Amino acid sequence: MTVVAGTYQRPDGLPDYGWVQFALVPPARLDDGTQVTSSAVRVSLDASGSFTVDLVPDPDLRGVDGTAVYEVTEHVGGLERCWLLAVTDDNPIALPDRYPGTALSPSPVVPVPGDKGDKGDQGDQGDRGRDVWWHGTRAQYDAIPVKDPETLYVVQG
């Protein structure tokens, strides 16, 4: 069993809010070919912005080197990021310290539209589609011995 714990704080030092989810990836395949899937484990941050979860991957579900890989989804402070966490032993893991990238942004990025750019070149003329149309009565349609797959047939009445 691996204990994963973490505390998330806003830039002003106050506790953050949200949840963290762990899903064993990829779904494992046992020696007999049976595919094993795992449901995700989601834990909510408490009032102090903290969480603790026990990850208990079956030893048979670990890779040949003993590693279990989890997809971690952090939904904290209204922002979300996903990354992979390799668990190789039963030592405690502290999040978000193990995140391989940059820290969560203190606030969402809001795109601000600028001035409209110049009009681009006109694209090439597209295919006109079917040029061959046929229309007539049901009796006339039934009398056609071989129907052309490129012809659109319209039966009146």
Q: What residues make up the domain containing 155?
A: 130-157
Q: Rounded distance, CA 136 to CA 146, Å?
A: 16
116 is a domain residue: no
Q: What are phi and psi of 133, to 5 degrees?
A: -120, 145
- Contact between 156 and 135 (Cβ < 8 Å): yes
Quick: pLDDT tens for 55-107.
766 665 666 566 777 888 888 988 888 888 877 766 677 776 666 554 444 44
Q: Please name the residues in contact with 84: beta carbons below 8 A apart, sequence gap of 6 or more.
A: 25, 69, 70, 71, 72
Q: Locate tokens 């502290």: which residue?
A: 94
The span from the first CA to the last CA of the chain, in angstroms, equals 74
60 is a domain residue: yes
111 is a domain residue: no
pLDDT at 137 (0 to 100) = 85
- Domains held by the chain: number: 2
- For 114, the token pair is 């600028």
Is 40 in the same domain as 83?
yes
Quick: pLDDT tens for 5-18.
889 988 888 999 99
Mean pLDDT across the chain, nearest whole number? Answer: 76
**CATH number, residue 37:** 2.60.40.10
Q: Looking at the predicted structure, is the pLDDT value of residue 117 above 70?
A: yes
pTM of full prediction above 0.75: no
Q: Could you tell me how far CA 33 lies from the centroid of its own chain?
A: 26
43 is a domain residue: yes
Q: Looking at the predicted structure, is the pLDDT value of residue 24 above 50?
A: yes
The alpha carbon dihedral of 56, 59, 65, 71 has a sign of negative
More confident residue, 46 or 96: 46
Enclosing H/E stretch for 82: strand 79-87
